[in-house]
Structures are given as C-alpha cells and as structure tokens.
Amino acid sequence: MGVEARAPLVLAVSGASGQPLAERALQRLLEAGEQVELITSRGAITVWQAELGLQVPGEPEAQEQFWRRRTGVSSGVLRCHRWNDQAASIASGSCRTRGMVILPASMGAVGRIAAGVATDLLERCADVHLKEGRPLVICPRELPWNLVHLRNLTTLAEAGARIAPPVPAWYHQPRSLEDMVDFLVIRIFDVLGDELGPLQRWQGPGGRSG
C-alpha cells in the first residue's frame, strides 16, 4: 500500500435522519485505526439534538473529546472541523485524502453539491473530492424522493459520486436494529473498498454461490 492508503478519510454528517449510522461508522473507523476528518453540518447538530437529545459541541476540540467519550474508542486519529470552516485543510484540493463519505446526506446538501454551491465545509469538501476525482460516497436519506432529488442525485452520479442510500436488507438475517446499522455501515464502506467488519455476503440460496 502506498501513501494514498494512509491518507485520511473524510466522514461528513449532514442534517438527515439516521445519525446513529454516522456514529457507528465513526466508531468502527477509529477502532480500525483510521485517520478521520469529521465534518458535522449545522443541520446535523440540530438533528442530533432533535432525534437523540444529544448536544454535539460545535467547537473542534470539544467535539473531539465528546466523540472519544461517547464512542469509547481511543485508537485512530480524529480531527473534527467546524461546520463553516472554509479555511480548514480539507477545504483545499492540495490536502491529501483518500475519499469522503456523506452519511447521512440531506436533500439540501445533495442539492447544493449538485449545483456546485459550497455554503459550508461539507459542501466545499464534497466539491473538492469531485474536482480532484477522488472517491465521494453519498448516502441520501429521504422518503419519498421527488423529481428534484432524483435529478440532483443523477447529476452527482454523472459527476463521479457513488450514491449509496442506507437501504436495509434482510438476507443477512438481522436480529436487532444494531445488526441492521452494522450491516449498513459496513456495506457503505464496502463501496469505498474499506473493510470495517465482517460482512455476511449473499452466497446464493442455501448458502451456495453461483
């Protein structure tokens, strides 16, 4: 593996429902010893409060301590960024990263990225990944999708992003919500070529591939 394999990964969380997916992804990435650049949008901070009663600090240092405590993981490298810090290292294409995952992605963020509008660090960083031709995985969360959402997602797919909606499956026979969250997180990072845990892959009926 070359230098690129050790470059940090950007995990971006926007204000869509499904924040536990982001939290589990962060936990697994840090457990795997990854270097994570974390962006939590302003909308995400609101949703965390509304859905889980969590007060996520906006300031990077306080946020790092918060996630270290909450995930209980001391390994890996975690760097948090202020949602509107357009001067952050990762706002520039000269900063090396090996990809970015937006989990979950709000329709607002999807629309602005598709339009090439960067009003905050998440959108700027996504724009940078597209312009640099680096992997960008977008996990949109909305139901149902209207035509505007579908067109924006198509634009992003045409621009090189991978669209990976957090859609559950039952072939791995989940027994709990945690099983489902783990499956989704591992499958999403599978798209990026990362192995964040054991994935029960479909082997064909009766467990036989072919």
Ligand X SMILES: Cc1cc2nc3c(=O)[nH]c(=O)nc-3n(C[C@H](O)[C@H](O)[C@H](O)COP(=O)(O)O)c2cc1C
Binding-site ranges for ligand X (CB under 6 A): 14-17, 41-44, 46-47, 50-51, 106-109, 141-142
Please, which residue, 96 or 149, has the CB nearer to ligand X? 149
State the amino acid at position 179 in one-letter form. Answer: D
Q: How far apart are CA 152 and CA 159, in angstroms?
A: 11
Q: How far apart are CA 28 and CA 4, in angstroms?
A: 20
Strands 9-13 vs 35-40: parallel, antiparallel or unpaired:
parallel
Q: How far is the CB of 94 from ligand X (least distance, A)?
A: 25
Please, which residue, 104 or 135, has the CB nearer to ligand X? 104
Q: How far is the CB of 183 from ligand X (least distance, A)?
A: 19
Q: How far apart are CA 50 and CA 144, in angstroms?
A: 21
Q: Which two tokens stand for residue 181?
A: 């969250």
Q: How far is the CB of 114 from ligand X (least distance, A)?
A: 12
Q: How far apart are CA 45 and CA 58, in angstroms?
A: 8
Q: Which two tokens stand for residue 81?
A: 């960024």
Q: How far is the CB of 69 from ligand X (least distance, A)?
A: 23
Which residue in the shown chain puts its C-beta closest to ligand X? 43
Q: How far is the CB of 119 from ligand X (least distance, A)?
A: 8
Q: How far apart are CA 146 and CA 210, in angstroms?
A: 37
Please, which residue, 4 or 51, has the CB nearer to ligand X? 51
Q: How far is the CB of 176 from ligand X (least distance, A)?
A: 22
Please, which residue, 76 or 140, has the CB nearer to ligand X? 140
Please, which residue, 141 or 187, has the CB nearer to ligand X? 141
Please, which residue, 40 or 97, has the CB nearer to ligand X? 40
**Residue environment code for 16-54, b if the CB has 16+ CB neighbours within 10 A, otherwise e:** bebbbbbbbbbbbbbbbebbbbbbbbebbbebbeeeeee
